[in-house]
Amino acid sequence: MEFKISKEFIHEVKKLIQEKNDHKLEVILNDIHHADIAEILDELDFDDATYIFKVLDSDKTAEILLELEDDLRENILSRLSPKEIAEELDELETNDAADIIAELSQEIKAEVISELQDVEHAKDIVDLLRYKEDTAGGIMHKELVKVNENWNVLTCVKEMRIQAENISRVHSIYVVDDEDRLKGRLSLKDLLTTSTKTAISDVYIRKLNYVNVDAEDVEVARIMQKYDLEAIPVVDELGRLVGRITIDDIVDVIKDEADQDYQLAAGISQDVEADDSIMELTKARLPWLVLALLGGFITVRVLGLFEGAMLEHGNLFFFTPLIAAMAGNVGVQSSAIIVQGLANDTLSGSLFNRLIKEVSLSLLNGVILATILFIGSHFLLNVEVVIGLIVTVALISVIVIASLIGTFIPLLLDKFGIDPALATGPFITTSNDICGILIYFSIAKMILGF
């Protein structure tokens, strides 16, 4: 039931563009969902994509604009005049329009805003531009249905009809006082079953969830998920109703947050996609790699400290990548579990209990792995028993230390208000590499006395 783009279809579209057969283009694209047209445009070159964009109606192209990949949208917008861009934005919901304006350069921004036809809509958009992207204000839209507590049911129904015209999904009717302060909400059912002369103040529900305009978007997502809400009203510092956030806005927040944690864990410091430019990808990837390289310098120096062992016990050095890798892997596992626990708010119990648990867990894992290592070093790697023993003892110690570092660094970062997801990935791997190698050779030195 989903539309699948075929090569033949793309070919047909390209041919019609070449022939400048605007009418047929409109006809074949008319029945296709705007999300699918966005995918078709992604398959065309910029000129052809812009051509189609100019052929279709602005109520359709406005929706398409939202679904395009960033670089294609940027490119198409750069080929439209401020007036043409304003025509697109007039068709969009306030928050979508504000998101697109935010991507424009400073000069064009002002021109586009001045070209907006619907003054109320323009006011709302300008209003939304003031809020930071990752706050309730940054994700809310202005479209909502509100009624005054002093009205009666009849006035209310009339007003609602007017307001609801521009809103795709009503969800809730909010009740405000003369100062626009949020007082409660109305259920559609109550409204329809009550006499038209009843005062709104007699029927509305006073208990409702709301968020402040400065609340973090992830916090809003958490509350909406927790209380299973499809929409939540947003109020300003004075308690005035300024907007509404719906569940589909939140889906993006949840997805972005989880994706971002994953990227940080993989050592990618900015939100990038595979199709971004090489410069953008380098900017996102290089910082952690430089850090890891500097960490690598330290491992070189640490190994240099134990140069004395090289003559007699050279094969100790064969095990350094193994020890370092195990330290890194264990650390990343521990930190990932804590980072997700913090993100999903599922951590309970005291720090001391967590310490005991992590030590037990890592001891259990460490002993199992060390046993495999001891047997393997004897039968597969043919090293002397004393070296096997040193590596085994070192592995257990390294696993315990690495899992403690992996557990407590994210907790510490969180305490200081830093995103704990920063701790996973190359940062933990690198510091655990260094610690692991240091512990390993120190144990070797103690036992062998070089």
Q: Which of residues 296-335 bind a copy of itself (CB under 8 A)?
A: 296-297, 299-301, 303-304, 307, 310, 314-315, 317-326, 328-330, 332-333, 335
Task: Out of 2, 8, 165, 178, name the contact with a copy of itself by CB under 8 A.
Answer: 2
CB 291 to a copy of itself: min, Å: 9
Task: Out of 27, 28, 110, 266, name the contact with a copy of itself by CB under 8 A.
Answer: 266
For the chain, the C-alpha Rg in angstroms (whole number) is 30
Contacts of 301 (CB under 8 A, 6+ apart): none
3-class DSSP string for 48-84: HHHHHHHHCCHHHHHHHHHHCCHHHHHHHHHCCCHHH
Binding mask 49-78 for a copy of itself (x = CB under 8 A): --------------------x---------
426 binds a copy of itself per the rule CB under 8 A: yes
Helices 278-305, 426-448: crossing angle, 10 deg rounding: 10
Site stretch for a copy of itself (CB under 8 A), options 4-12, 17-25, 99-107, 428-436: 428-436
376 binds a copy of itself per the rule CB under 8 A: yes
Q: Which residue lies nearer to a copy of itself by CB, 50 or 335?
A: 335
Q: Which residue lies nearer to a copy of itself by CB, 128 or 423?
A: 423
337 binds a copy of itself per the rule CB under 8 A: yes
386 binds a copy of itself per the rule CB under 8 A: no
Task: Out of 102, 205, 351, 372, name the contact with a copy of itself by CB under 8 A.
Answer: 372
336 binds a copy of itself per the rule CB under 8 A: yes
Contacts of 327 (CB under 8 A, 6+ apart): 398, 399, 401, 402, 432, 433, 435, 436
Q: Which of residues 217-246 bind a copy of itself (CB under 8 A)?
A: 223, 225-228, 230
Which residue is associated with the tokens 């409702």? 208
Backbone φ and ψ for 271, nearest 5 degrees, come out as -75, 105
Rounded CA-CA distance 46/50 in Å is 6
Q: Which residue lies nearer to a copy of itself by CB, 114 or 360?
A: 360
CB 372 to a copy of itself: min, Å: 6
44 binds a copy of itself per the rule CB under 8 A: no
Binding mask 201-220 for a copy of itself (x = CB under 8 A): --------xxx---------
Q: Which residue lies nearer to a copy of itself by CB, 106 or 346?
A: 346
CB 119 to a copy of itself: min, Å: 28
Rounded CA-CA distance 184/191 in Å is 14
Rounded CA-CA distance 207/196 in Å is 23
Q: Which of residues 114-143 bind a copy of itself (CB under 8 A)?
A: none
268 binds a copy of itself per the rule CB under 8 A: yes
Q: Which residue lies nearer to a copy of itself by CB, 21 or 329?
A: 329
CB 281 to a copy of itself: min, Å: 6
CB 413 to a copy of itself: min, Å: 15
Three-class secondary structure of residue 414 per DSSP:
helix
Among candidates 12, 50, 6, 56, which has minimal Cα distance to 34?
56
Three-class secondary structure of residue 343 per DSSP:
helix
Among candidates 439, 448, 437, which has minimal Cα distance to 303?
437
First to last CA, the chain: 72
425 binds a copy of itself per the rule CB under 8 A: yes
Size of the site for a copy of itself (CB under 8 A): 106
212 pairs with which residues across the strands?
235
95 binds a copy of itself per the rule CB under 8 A: no
| Sheet architecture: strand order including 231-235 | 211-212, 231-235, 241-246
Contact 428, 409 (CB under 8 A): yes
